[in-house]
Amino acid sequence: MYGQELAKVYEIFYRSRGKDWTAEAEEVTRLVRARMPEAGTLLDVACGTGAHLATFREQFDTVEGLEIAPSMLELARQRLPGLTFHDGDMRDFALEDTFDAVVCMFCAIGYLGTVEELRAAVRAMSDHLSPGGVLVIEPWWFPEDHVEGYVAGDLGKEDGLTVARISHSTRQGRATRMEVRFLVGESAGIKEFTEIDVLTLFTRDEYTQAFLDADCSVEYLPGAPTGRGLFVGIRH
């Protein structure tokens, strides 16, 4: 998962479908400030290549990132030298500092396998919030949203690379099993590789209860940024 081959082309195919990390980070900043106007510090959990953090650092006094995939973490550090990044697992990370906002974007929470892991991750994030701090989590799809056999395709071209991505999704127990095949063309030739993503279809109630049990209020805002909505809570 998220090895060097994927990290190299990760942003190219998402930009080709219109993903705008800047606009997403600006909207999350607005949601945070509406609940805590004085918010000055932010932690991005599962920060990936740092694409959201590039905007968050312009909106907050201090921002840090946490990421478990070495290849993605390396790209984030290259993109944003001088920022603090932590190699850690969202289920059990323990940093010295707390933050006014903790965010976990782009459905990264869906890669957790069980409700117990979901609850542990939300608790870990909440534990890193200052009193009155804001927690924002973008979920994966709810079970009722799963489309059996769904196929998606993207084609992106940037910096001498042409990237084709095709995915096929099936139900695997309580999860979406998504087989993703990539073709990457460059001057040296064409390479092909396959990724298997398994994302748990947690229910809305399971997310809600995880927030409540982590001493956070919770509201669900449907729709943006990717159609799956956002869960937003405030630490008691």
Domains in the chain with CATH codes: 4-142+202-234 (3.40.50.150), 144-200 (2.20.130.10)
Task: Answer yes or no: pTM beyond 0.75.
Answer: yes
Pairing of strands 62-67, 84-87: parallel
Contact status, residue 114 vs residue 199, Cβ threshold 8 Å: no
Contact status, residue 42 vs residue 48, Cβ threshold 8 Å: no
| Structure confidence by residue, pLDDT tens digits, 38-52 | 999 999 999 999 999
Q: What are phi and psi of 75, to 5 degrees?
A: -65, -35
Categorize the per-residue pLDDT at 3 as very low, low, confident or very high, splitting at 50, 70 and 90.
Answer: confident
Average pLDDT over residues 193-201: 97
CA distance to 20, 24, 102, 108, 140, per residue, from 225 (Å): 9, 6, 17, 14, 12
Q: Identify the sign of the CA torsion 109, 113, 115, 116.
A: negative
- Beta partners for residue 170, in sequence order: 177
Q: Please report, in angstroms and rounded to a whole number, the separation of the first and last CA atoms in the chain.
A: 35
| Structure confidence by residue, pLDDT tens digits, 155-171 | 999 999 999 999 999 99
Categorize the per-residue pLDDT at 65 as very low, low, confident or very high, splitting at 50, 70 and 90.
Answer: very high
Q: Using CA atoms, how far apart are residues 129 and 36, in angstroms rounded to an integer?
A: 12
CB atoms within 10 A of CB 14: 18
Q: What is the CA radius of gyration of the chain?
A: 17
